[in-house]
Amino acid sequence: MKKNENELLKAQESTNKHEKPDKTHPNYHKEVSQAIEDLENEDSDEPEF
């Protein structure tokens, strides 16, 4: 779970470098969607009950 949280934090940190995260910036959606993708992939690999 820690790794998943770190992926999201990385994506948030990269956007937080700007005073106001520019959601229209290509990297914003790219990195956030990549983090979400990683979460979904790990969830399917390691289902939690």
Residue 7 pLDDT: 76
Give the pTM: 0.32
Q: Does the pLDDT at position 48 exceed 70?
A: no
Task: Give 7-40 pLDDT, tens digit per residue.
Answer: 777 766 665 555 565 666 667 678 778 888 887 7
d(CA 30, CA 6): 16
Q: Can you give the C-alpha Rg of the chain in angstroms? A: 12
